[in-house]
Structures are given as structure tokens and as C-alpha cells.
A = this chain, B = another copy of it.
């Protein structure tokens, strides 16, 4: 508790894993463990954030992440207000800043923001007095996703340090990939990224990963195989030839999984494109898939973040 307070004064916003110290990351993961038990119990309600106001400000639709933050806040006793802003017609920057100023004047304690532009939460955090939690910004970061992935790995494998983790798919456009690369590296794992050339960033090796264009080579000796969602909009145009071809070369199948370690486990941030990036049976196989655990622990991780970052 003494350490929590110390962190709260230093780190006001959760904008990305890149801004996080190992100590801070570990504290969030440790705090999350308590909430796992609470969420599995018959009475899922605390007064930790009673009297606090949490605003969920979503400029992109997101059933999963928004629900997770919504329940996390309510279970901690916060007053939660969700705002879904579709800003097709409006100039984006203006909306974000005017909305930020307006909401800030209402004295929220936490703003959870998802925005289609990379860096929007950082900009927001400079304009408001409360803590800003990044729930995904453009192709930049999705820190709570990486944290819940780390928690899931720790609770399944007992540790992260020393593991070899493959991240496969559209590395170029994925904020989930970026946040996970930072966090897994920070926590002592070795990270392989696997993607077709058109979906692999040029400067990827500067992030301290090994890059592969072949699943066979990239999955070798991996303990964790993280598949990414293939955005449908990438399928049109020059990035990819066809869904079928993508599945053939980069879709995770029981056969390809054999390239990894014997006891390798599968992860996916959801929602899954079954038959595109992952075989549908594999996705549902509770012996190898951690997808359910990821969602479950996601609520716990968000509760920890809301508690630790609330001013």
C-alpha cells in the first residue's frame, strides 16, 4: 500500500508500456492477483473507488475492452459513465480536445480512452487533471492488453522470464503487438515476431525481437504463440493476396503448432477471425488455448490499473 501511493504520485497516466518501469509493471500484475479471486467469488463489489468518477471515452467501438473497463470500475464502486463518440463528420483533434476540456471540468478521477489516432491519449493527458488510461490508440499501444497477457502467461506457465514468445500476424498495424513486445522484453522473455513481409515493420529488429516470415522457423521452441487479429480492411489492397492464402501460410493450425514447444499455449486478443488467422477447433481447445483466461484476467488487470492510477 505504501508502494502504491509512491507510484501514484510518480506515474499519473497509463499511456503505454513504453513509459512503464519494471517495478510498476510488476506492481500492477501483483495487485491484479487479488482481483482474480474477487471476480470468481459470489460477491464482486468493493468500495475502493466509491466517490470516484470514471469516464469511458470511446472514439472507436469496442465491445470487449469497454465492457471489461465498465465492469472493473463498477465492481470497485466507482460511478462509471460511458461515452461512445462516433466522429466521422467532425474534425477529430478538435472534438477530442473540446471533449477533454468539457469532461475535465466535471472533475472525473479517471478517463479511460480509446482513439483511432496514435498518441491521442498522450495529448489528452496533457489537458486534464485526472488519470488517463489508454485503452488502445491507433497502431501505437494497448497497455492493459499486454498486462493481461502477461498475467495470463504468469498464471499458466508460472513465470515469463526465460520463455520464448511468438507474436504472429499483422505486426505492422498492431498496437497489441507493440505493447506486448515492450512488456515481454521488459519481463525477461525472448520475443519472435512472424508476419508476411508486407505486414512487418522495417525497423522491427530495433525493438529487440527476432523477425521471421516463416511460421516454421518463427515458432521453433516457443512456449507461447500469440496470434493477432487480421483486420478486414487490410485484406483489400496490396497487403495480402487472399484470406485463404493467408490462412495457408500464417493461420495457426494443429500442424503448424507442432513447430512450437510441446507444451506451447495459444493466445489471441479477440475477437477471432476463425479460419483466417486461427483454426476454429484450436481456438476452442481448452487444453492449449488461453483465450478465455485472457478475457477473465482482463477485468482483474483493469481493476488493478483503475485502483493504482486513480488520483
Chain A contacts to B: CB under 8 angstroms: 39-40, 42-45, 50-53, 63-64, 67-68, 70-71, 74-75, 79, 81, 83, 85, 94, 98-99, 101-107, 270-272, 274, 291-293, 295-296, 298-299
Contacts and interface: CB of A to CB of B under 8 A. Distances in A.
Contacts of A68: 106
Contacts of A270: 98, 102
Contact of A67 (B44, B52, B106): B106
Closest A-B pairs by Cβ, 8 of them: A43-B51, A105-B295, A45-B51, A74-B79, A105-B296, A105-B292, A39-B107, A102-B295
A71 B272 contact: no
B42 A106 contact: no
User: Can you tell how many copies of this chain the complex includes?
Assistant: 3
Contacts of A42: 51
Given A106-B295, A107-B39, A296-B105, A79 B83 contact: no
B63 A85 contact: yes
A9 to B, nearest CB: 14
A157 B296 CA distance: 49
Nearest to A47: B45
Query: Which of A40, A104, A106: most chain B Cβ within 10 A?
Result: A106
A187 to B, nearest CB: 23
Given A44-B52, A45-B51, A85-B63, A71 B106 contact: yes
Given A43-B51, A44-B53, A81-B71, A64 B271 contact: no
Given A67-B103, A106-B296, A271-B98, A53 B75 contact: yes
A96 to B, nearest CB: 12
Contacts of A104: 292
A50 B6 CA distance: 32
A273 to B, nearest CB: 10
Given A85-B63, A296-B106, A45 B40 contact: no
A56 to B, nearest CB: 11
Nearest to A79: B74
Nearest to A98: B271
Nearest to A75: B79
A64 B94 contact: no
Nearest to A97: B284
24 contacts: A40-B107, A43-B50, A43-B51, A43-B52, A44-B53, A44-B79, A45-B50, A45-B79, A53-B75, A67-B81, A67-B83, A68-B106, A71-B81, A71-B106, A74-B79, A74-B81, A94-B274, A98-B272, A101-B295, A102-B295, A104-B292, A105-B296, A106-B299, A107-B296
